[in-house]
Structure 1
Amino acid sequence: MKKILNYIVVMVISGAVLLGCKDDFLNTQPLDKAPGTAVWSDAALADAAVTELYNGLRDGILDQQNMETITDNALYNFGKQDIMESIISPANTGWVNDTYAWGNMYAMIRAANLALQNLAVPKFESTNGIADRLKGESYFMRAYFYNQMLRYYGAVPIVKTPYLLGDPDYTIARNTYEECVNFIVSDLDSAALLLQGKSMEAGRATYGAALALKARVLTYAASDLHDIPAASAKSGLIAGYSNKELLGYTSGDQAARWQKAKDAAKAVIDLNQYGYSLDLAAPVTPEQGRQNYTNMYLSTGGGEKDGIFIRYFNDLKSEDGAWFARNNMPNGYHGWTSSEPTQNLVDDYEMMDGTKFDWTNPAHAAAPYDNRDPRFYATVLYDGAPFKTRTPDGKGIDPRGEIQMGTYQIGSAASPTVHQGLDTRQSSIENWNGTRTGYGIRKFINNTIDNVTFQDQNTRQSVPSPQIRFTEIVFHYIEACIELGEEAEALAWLNKIRFRAGMPAVDDSGPALMDRYRNEKNVEMAFEEQRFYDARRWMIAPETLGQKARIIRISGTLKPGKTVPAYAYSKDNYTYTYTVQDIDPGVENRKWDDKMYFMPIHRDEMNRNNKLVNNPGHQQ
């Protein structure tokens, strides 16, 4: 069984001294907190303080609202997104995962700086290299937090030491984008050097994680959004911005940057430590492809080899990530259907023969969920999808445990009545939180956990949240190869990923290969919070993030002579009609503005620090 890293909250007090009092009772230390001097003089307390840095990880399946909801892949059920409507500003930065809140990030960076400052010359006996390990983890986490900000805001101020009370000036200007990239890479090189050869608990930073994050950082840095000549040619807003050095490289060779990205990704591949079923010479069966994909996100059956840096959750306590199933299962299972796949994402999944799905193709339109990429079935809950046993209040209506996203005639064809699907917004189970798009998330939900209680939300799960996985790094390698004109190498690795999923090889070239690559990455990494960054750095956001959210409406009409109960919704009994449409603009009215390439720094932060310059389109 995997060792689960328990995240320990330690309150560290540094330099709290009462002056002018000599009474002993006024000089006592609190019983529930450890003073800073004690923390860094004791190996166990220092370990706990560094462990607390991992509580800054917020990506993946932790929050009720997945970041896919600010992309074309998903919709948030409980409120429209200002980010998707391009109406954010320094006064209204819109919904943002806590990872990217300026103050939260700098609080975690300060904690990492405190650790590095106090571990520079350890004040405790460093047996088994514990001080080097803690320093390595601290360098990694500082780099991780800075990169979270970099890929959201562009350049940020680099703070290398913790500010203290009484410091003469707390204001600091943003460094250049290039300086930020170099600083993060330097931290990751330091982390790799200190962590190499160390045996680490599951969930902690490792040598491989440091190399993998470096590959991500350099891939983003090489992208068009951060090559200012290329970005300026595509965006007048960026072209007219006075501080372009905050957004990317104003000079230099983009091809050289892609070479660095390629080399960094290849260094991870050459470790021969990670990778699940990527040594295939031909596609596996569709059934095995679906199982391979499921194994990776549940970390079972060998799929854990794809995880390089993962946050684990303990289902024995009420951690946010343990509630992913409750937050996202359909309302017909007493879930909340919070983050819902859109029709936009569903249409991105290819047919089994590798051709594109097409609503103008009569065969596709008549059976849109047949013969699709096996990853579709492992990611999306759709009408008719086999799922799991219903809770007692739904089992009598649906004894087979199949998703009901439509309206269906029941009874006899001569005298039918209409049944509202159990997983719709008109459900007889719960009618307040059903899907708006006609879909739900299957990925990251442990289907083996049955409904042991009447209210399924009482059941937690321990599915891990991937922060970086090996397949992402392979995608970075493929992308760099394409950008460098090494198409044969790119195709070889792209087809390895497709073979694992049961999909046929492709042989595209030129722009078609890049389009295929981008689609492949999107469906493989769905709901792993990559899309928001990728669409922006590829500068395809106007055509993707700016799309209207597409939804589906499904109705089943009894065929003549048929008499069926409320759950026998097979094609033998029904004629199905599928209607695809834009979401009601009252729910969400998506549009793109180039100011969304770089998020605004909040007005409060601008007021606190008069040396900050805001991003293009957000200067007001």
Structure 2
Amino acid sequence: MKKFKIMALTFVAATVTFTSCNDDFVNTEPLSELSQSAVWTDAALAEAFVTEIYAGFNVGGFEEQSLSSLTDETIFTHPGRGITTITEGRSNPADIGWVSANLRWDAMYSRIRAANLALKNLADPQFPNTGNIVERLQGEAKFMRAFYYHQLARYYGGVPIIDRPYELGEADYLAPRNTWEETVNFIVKDCDEAATLLDGRTMANGRANKAAALALKARILTYAASDLHDVPTAKSKSTTISGFSNPELIGYVSGSRTERWQKAKDAAKAVVDLNRGYKMDLTSPATPPAQGTANYMDISLARNGGQTELLMARYFTNAKQENGGRLGLYNGPNGYNNWAGNTPIQLLVDDYEMMDGTKFSWSNPVHAADPYANRDPRFEASILHEGSPWKVRSNANLPKDPASQIQTGRYEVINAAGQKVTHFGLDTRQSSIEDWNGSYTGYYIRKFTDPNPAIVDQNTWQQIPWPILRYTEAVFNYAEACINLGQEEEARTWLNKIRFRAGMPAITATGAALVDKFRNEKRIEMLYEEQRYHDARRWMIAPTTLGRKANGINIVGTLKPGKSVTVYKFSKENYDYTYTPFEIDPGKENRAWNDKLYFLPISQAEINRNDKLVQNAGYGK
């Protein structure tokens, strides 16, 4: 008889009480397992099984190591974790480099198998269908199967489509990769069926719903229409792809891109029409900068109405003490006794526009003299920089910084003897506090970090949800499809709704300039949300974005004549500041783009297990 292990449930507390006769030595049923017949004859146990499939959702940018550090968003501070294997172009089937555990090939297929088991047994339920629970669970299982296949597709291209659970004693357990088109079509079909099954249902936070199914469909169809997956276009931009003997595994070798973009547009419009966006009804850029910052923070913290953006999210509770609640510890300033894991790079900072919508430029003396002034309001909601007000420092460190401001530069101060001395900021690698955890770039992540001073990052777990799918992404997908279909006015209308919410002026660009504006707007709005990694690849701009050296900022505060301070505080009155961008020492990370990294390699272990698999381009056979 088949057994299912009792798994820890991640999203929804599902408590099942099991009783046994402890003094009955004849009862040999394992206490940690349930028979298949028991699971699928009890609605509560069936729901618990489906609920456990959600555990395959990774915690995204809330992990200690973040996908953002494989892009031009952040750099990972601590060596030896496998990130540079990818950023330096050394990934190979024997050593892929760092990939989140839940995103690996075997982990995805483990969850897909669980979804297949659920769908098989729910096809002929052995328990009462009270409240149409069967259809709900089927909808959830189909959504999750689609989600895990879409994760595989985003990283690997076409993959083996397994739509049933394998049984013991089968003649063959090996399967070849399906084409990219077949993989996309399978995901879309599951999304459509999930949306139908979940239509009209009010679902608990963190569980699949109609909106999430439609949003996932829009995402995969947007990817499918992109340059990387149009083989003729991809071949023209990559010699690695042009030499691949199985291009149908990574894209469309023929067919109409216009039709693909139309499908993507229609799918995204179905989500846009749900009107789930936060403050998407503004018609002019009248939002004050401070309110624009607050609006963006409300979305990233899922508060004050910002949670309406979330179509699918992973939620965290203090009781579970999951890694997703430790973002502040993982990425926060060392001067607060945090680890500074993933820190923003200057290339990202420079891509924030000025408040008037023009580009920031170091060659502009006004910009260079005060680089954080008059920037896109989302900048202050996303990045901690020199002088940013932050939480009150610990009792031990507060005397060194009574103002509790981020200190990432070096400054001249006057000591007790009246001598001018150099002081290194508390949040630098020359700090008196955990200098080994200081940022190399001079910046720290603010977005998604709970600013509540009661959340002490070293010993308190925050409860900010990780946005797996949100409404604004669907708006970007809609705008992107419109641009590619020549419907620029419609694209600008929706892009400007996003910008007006942030307090930024309208986009008026056309043609190639509009494409650039769109891409930068998505870069800023969807920061740290695991969008940039995939966008840079599918747009095939990775060589000029992800291939650039990571950089940071040097800041020197020099006392003005006649001024005297003993404890540093960021002040334009007392200091003249100079800001100098620099490239990160290649000894820390020496980024180099390699075209094979448009897709991850299938691990050699999987190739060895299944000789029907074809390896991706650039990784050998």
**What's the TM-score, normalizing by structure 1?**
0.95
Give yes or no for contact 1:7–1:55 (8 Å, CA) kept in 2.
no
The aligned counterpart of 2:146 is 143
Aligned to 2:438: 434
Question: SS state of the match for residue 83, structure 1?
Answer: helix
Question: What is the rounded CA distance, in whole Å, between the counterparts of 1:37 and 1:485 in structure 2?
Answer: 56
Query: Could you tell me whether the CA contact under 8 Å between 2:455 and 2:462 is conserved in 1?
Result: no
Q: Residue 246 of structure 1 aligns with which residue?
A: 249
For 1:577, what is the secondary structure of its paired residue? strand
Runs of 4+ in 1 over 6 A off after TM superposition: none
CA distance in 2, matches of 1:125, 1:105: 31
Report the Cα offset of residue 318 of structure 1. Answer: 1.2
Residue equivalent to 1:347? 350
Count of aligned positions: 602
Aligned to 2:280: 278
2:40 partner letter = W
Q: CA deviation at 1:161?
A: 0.8
Secondary structure, aligned partner of 2:400: coil
CA deviation vs aligned residue, 1:475-508 (integer Å, no higher than 9, x gap):
0000000000000000111111000000011200
- Amino acid aligned to 1:332: G
Post-superposition CA distance 1:172-193 (Å, at most 9, x none): 1000000000000001111011
Unaligned 5+ segments in structure 2 are 1-9, 19-23
Is 1:576 paired with 2:570? no
Partners of 2:353 and 2:568 in 1: CA distance: 29
Whether the 8 Å contact between 1:150 and 1:180 is mirrored in structure 2 is yes
| Counterpart residue number, 1:607 | 608
Q: Which residue of 2 aligns with 1:178?
A: 181
CA apart distance, 1:415: 2.7
Report 1:76-475 matches (<5 A): 76-79=76-79, 81-272=84-275, 274-283=276-285, 284-411=287-414, 415-450=419-454, 456-475=457-476
CA distance in 1, matches of 2:26, 2:413: 77
Cα distance in 2 for residues equivalent to 1:565 and 1:484: 61
TM-score normalised per structure 2: 0.95
CA distance in 2, matches of 1:75, 1:618: 25
CA distance in 1, matches of 2:142, 2:369: 54
- Report what 2:21 is aligned to: none
SS at match of 1:159: coil
- The CA distance in 1 between the partners of 2:270 and 2:546, in whole Å, is 32
Amino acid in the other structure paired with 1:212:
A
Whether the aligned pair in 1 keeps the contact of 2:40 and 2:127 (CA below 8 Å) is yes
For residue 172 of structure 1, what is the amino acid of its counterpart?
A
Deviation of 1:567 after TM superposition, in Å, equals: 2.6
Q: Is the 8 A contact 1:387 1:401 kept in 2?
A: yes
Structure 1 residue runs of 5 or longer lacking an equivalent are 13-23
State the alpha-carbon separation in 2 of the partners of residues 156 and 197 from structure 1. Answer: 32
Instruction: Give the alignment of 1:1-150 within 5 angstroms.
Output: 5-6=11-12, 25=25, 28-79=28-79, 81-150=84-153
Aligned to 1:534: 535
Whether the 8 Å CA contact 1:414–1:561 is kept in 2: the answer is: no
Shift of 1:315: 1.9
How much is the aligned-residue C-alpha RMSD, in angstroms? 1.7
Cα distance in 2 between the residues matched to 1:544 and 1:8: 45
- The 5 Å alignment of 1:513-532 reads 513-532=514-533
Q: Report the Cα offset of residue 518 of structure 1.
A: 0.1
Mapped partners of 1:400, 1:608: distance in 2: 59
Secondary structure class of the residue paired with 1:535: helix
Aligned to 1:19: none
The range that moved more, 164-173 or 530-539, is 164-173
| Aligned equivalents of 1:8, 1:546: Cα separation in 2 | 46
Distance 1:420 1:307, change over 3 A: same
